Amino acid sequence: MQTIDEALEKLGRSDFRSRFSLSQKDMEYIDSKGLETIRSHAEDFIKARLAPSFIPNDGKQTPMRGHPVFKAQHACACCCRGCLNKWYRIPVDRELSEIQQKKIVNLLMAWIEREYKNNKNSHA
């Protein structure tokens, strides 16, 4: 079982995954809503779009932009069941447990918080 830091380090070595970052618009959205609201959105997105055992549009259910959580999902390989299986060996055809959902949300929030902090520091 890898830690969040280990997962983020591994994802950072992926050419594709490491290309994602928060935009100025994402930063402003986080500023206006707060990180607890963003976490709540992440919980809702994961429960509705990733947790079911069958997802009719799997592989296409997560937009590439429009919300900081969507970017985090792509950056963290938590965008579809295929990526969850490839990166974390989570079976494709089984509903995600509450614990799995919580771990995914924690990973997404860790990525968002790092990006947020790094972007804030670089614009200070």
- 100 contacts: CB under 8 Å, gap ≥ 6: 51, 90
Q: Could you tell me which residues come within 8 angstroms of residue 106 by beta carbon, excluding any fewer than 6 positions away?
A: 4
Instruction: Answer whether 0.75 is exceeded by the pTM.
Output: yes
Reported as a single tens digit per residue, the pLDDT across 14-44 is: 999 999 999 999 999 999 999 999 999 999 9
Among candidate residues 68, 62, 64, 99, the one with its CA nearest the CA of residue 81: 62
Q: What is the pLDDT of residue 19?
A: 95
Residue 2 banded pLDDT, cuts 50, 70, 90: confident
Model confidence at 120: pLDDT above 80: no
Domain range list for the chain: 4-122
